Each structure stands twice: as C-alpha cells, then as structure tokens.
Chains A and B, each alone.
Chain A
Amino acid sequence: MNVIEVNSLSKSFGKTKALDSVSFSVEQGELFGLIGPDGAGKTTLFRLLTTLLNPDEGTAKIEGLDIVKDYIKIRSRVGYMPGRFSLYPDLTVEENLTFFASLFGVKVKDSYDLVAPIYKQIEPFKKRQARNLSGGMKQKLALSCALIHHPGVLFLDEPTTGIDALSRSELWDMLKSLKTKGITILVSTPYMDEAFLCDRIALCNEGRILGIDTPPGIIGKFDSQLYTISADNMFALLGAARKIEGVLECYPFGQTHHLVADERFNEEHFREKLEYLGNLTLIPTEPTIEDVFMNLMKK
C-alpha cells in the first residue's frame, strides 16, 4: 500500500514556482529520500504534506487521507521535524517532550518504547534547557518529540544539515531502526552521499523531480562515459581537458577531476595531448549520485 501518494502537486509563492507538478509515491515502511539543494522545493513539499499549506494544483494523500479535506486527521497521524529547530528553547529537554505529548493527547510513557532508544541518549541532560544543547542533541530531542504520538509517517526536513559527520551517521542509524518498526519515512537532504542510506530517492532541483529510483537505479541513469583524471597540475588539467574532442564536461571531484565523454572521445588522443601536464592518469569510473544529478540537471 502507498502511504504517501503525490499527484502533480504545484505551489507558487508570487512569481516563484516552488513546486512544479511533482508526483511520486512512498510505500509502507519505506525510507524515501528527497535529495537536492536549497530552492529545490523540499520544504514546500513537506509543508504541503503535513497540511501546513494548501497546494495551488494537484492532490496528495497520506495513509489514504486527502491533504486538503482530511487535514485534521492527518495531523495526528504524522510526525514532522522541520529543518529549523522548532522546540521551545526555554523549556528543558523533559518539558519539551511532555509538552508535545500533551499537544497530541498522549502520555510520554505510552510511546516510550518507540522514543526510548533515541531519548535515552539525551536523558542525562533532561533538566537542561533546550537552547543549551549541542546541534546533535537538539536533533535527537526534536526527533523524540516528533515520535511521541506514535505516528505512522515521519517527515524529516534536512535533519542532518549543519551537524557534523559523526552525528549525521548516528541519525541515519536511528532512522534505519525506526523503519524496522514499520514507520514510513520521508527525509530530505542536500548531502548527495546520504542517498545510499535510503531505499528509494527522488533527485529534486528548482521545484521539479529529475529522477526517482533506488540509489543503484539512479546511478544506472547516467548515460555517458565517465573517467577520473589527474595530473601534476590539476588546475591546468581542468581547462586543457575541456578542449579535447568528445569531452562533454570536466569538473573538480575531490582530489581528482571527473570527465564526462561521448563516443567521439579517444583515450589515446587524450593522453598524447595532455601528457605534458605530468603524471597524467585517465581511469574509467562508476558515477556517483552527484555525477548523475549534474547529468540530469543539464537535461
């Protein structure tokens, strides 16, 4: 069964088309990722699906309930963690949790089994005001509060933005374990390398979806030849490589550059032409999600 169903959803703010006819669906118990930069429309989509905004066009259903007609029912069925820290900074950790429980008319102890694995990590600081928590701890508290009413669907808007790599990997571990409890999760992130932690992903840019698939399926959409190249003078290599026949793109990729080529590209010719840059290497490479994203952006 599809827990989330989105059909041609559009939303504009003045002249800005934040979402442009977006469609996708998420199955029961799936961990679905929206991957894209700022301005992709991720937050607008979350606000529509959590019934905080109405769409201009299109429809969407959460657990079979319509986001416009059935908004009151939806609100008690979903947990939402906005991108901006939205707990009460002057309440303690414990007070925040109790407050959110009472908003939803539940007792903390009723859903404690679900919240405990996360909340236990911050429980030693339960008397501390939320404002005095570190970034990673704030996220854990926000996630606890979003789960306190035992939602069937969890919406997480950029939960890993601005927190360090270790806290990020802890957060993904938590999501994986929530998934095993049957909770459907829609999560957004600007970090492309987090795509592989999702069951399926949608690559989003400027209000549109560029592609939807499993992470390996998305990789399979890359339709050109990709190489990793390097030389002693990396900066000169960038400019020189772009002038070689058959080179569609050449861009920095960590310590190396990635080169996208079409059928006109000849490895021998490339080596001969650019040998002078010193220690030239040219190695066929599997694309990453970022390569695919850039490839799809150009279409």
Chain B
Amino acid sequence: MFPELFSTRELRKSIDGSVDWLVTNYADSFEALTQPFLAILIWLEQLLRGAPWWAVILGVALVSYAASRSWLLSLGMSALLFFIGAIGLWDQGMQTLALMLVATGLSVVIGIPVGILMASYDRFRKIMLPVLDIMQTMPSFVYLIPVVMLFGLGKVPAIFATIIYAVPPLIRLTDLGIRLVDADVLEASRAFGANRRQQLFGIQLPLALPNIMAGINQTTMMALAMVVIASMIGARGLGQEVLIGINRLEVGRGLLAGLAIVALAILFDRITQSLGKRMSVAQQDS
C-alpha cells in the first residue's frame, strides 16, 4: 500500500471548489464570450440545412475541384455526399458538417499562430509540448464536465471539446514545418534585409505549407472522431444518431450513422490532402 503523503480528498475537494467558484461567478460571462462563435455556427448550420441538397453537393464538387484540379475526385466527393443523403441522414450530416467546419476553422485560427510562436521561441515551445501531450491524451470526459458546467449543454462546449482534442496536430505540424524550412533559404532572405514579418510570410509559412496542410488534415480527422462524444453533451448530428443507436440497441441505425461519419471523414481527408499535395508539388525542391 502506497503511503498517504497528503490528503488527496482535500485536493479533490479544493479542485471541485475552485471550479464551482468559477462557475458561480463567471459562467454567464463565459457564455456571453462564446456567443459570436455560436452565431457563426448557427448561421452556417442553417445555410447548409436550408440550401437545396443538390446545391450543397455542387458546392462540395467545386471545392474539391479547386483543391485537386481533378474531376474524378470531385465526382467521388459528390457521390459520398449523395450517399449520406441516400441513407436518410442528410439533415444530421449537414449539422455535423457545420460543426466540423467551425471547429476546423477555429483550430486553424488558434493552431497556426501557436505553432508559429513555438517555432520562434524555444522557451514557449518547452512549455507547450507537455500541454499538447495533455490535450491529446487526457480522456475527453475529464474536461467535458467542467466545460459543460461553464458553458452549459449544447453546441459551444461541443466545439470546445473538439478543438481541444483536434488542434494539437496542427500546432505540432506548423511548428515542425517552420523548423524544417531550409536554413540556407532563410539566411538568404535575412541577407537581403527581410524583416521578421517578411521572413515569416514570404519564406517560412509558404515553405511550411505542405506540413501545415497535413496538420489541417489531421485536425479534421480528429475532429470527426470527436463527433460521437460531442453529441453526448448536446451537439446534434450524426454523432447523436450513433448515440441513439447504442442506447436503443439499434445496430442498423448506429451502423448507417457510422458509415455517414466515415463518408464525411473521407471527404475532408481527400480534399485537404490533395490540396496539400498540390502545394508541395508546386514548390518541390530538387
């Protein structure tokens, strides 16, 4: 038996207490802070759900073509979306798609600057690495409880939980991508008098872009892996269907919803991957 060094019960209680204090005093302001995100999400969701199905499919086809310059890929992507509609999950699929887009967008807005800071400041990197480890390995339920307490049930905590889980690969790959930029090229830009901003936007980010795209790809994949868990705290969509399937032991419902999630995953993966590939081909070094 390991000796008791201090009262863990007290520790637990004090953590509970501080969360309670945070919730009682600041829950309202936290919720107010998140209103803009919620508004964007709701707007996007209504747009996707309100638009005719063929318009959405056409939109996805155009985006795929823009990313890959391949009609075959964009045909395949349209077929995947059509499949989601065909198995009767169009509405849920659009809800999940909206959540994914907002979560991915916010991840990019957070992840890329953090990655840049990590690449620029070694001390910041040393702090961030264990933080990223915690974000990726901590079971999500552990932070879902306080997040729900602070933000209430619904879409916002779902977005937060998704971002916490999904943003680390983007941060890591942005950091890595910038660090892998050829030191000679960077030195050349310094020798011609480029300032920090010119180095960052002219050299480091463009050259790190293939890695950053791989990061965005990973982020979308991980975000999709969170949809079922997110549905437990009130996000509607495909995850909720899976959850209902589990609760009612309806294997068919669960399986179809699961397949729809896979279809969305393939959609996101292929589009971001082909975009990344095209970017790295464009700047391939001999």
Do A and B associate with each other?
Answer: no
B interface with A by C-beta (< 8 Å):
none
Residues in chain A within 8 A of chain B (CB atoms): none
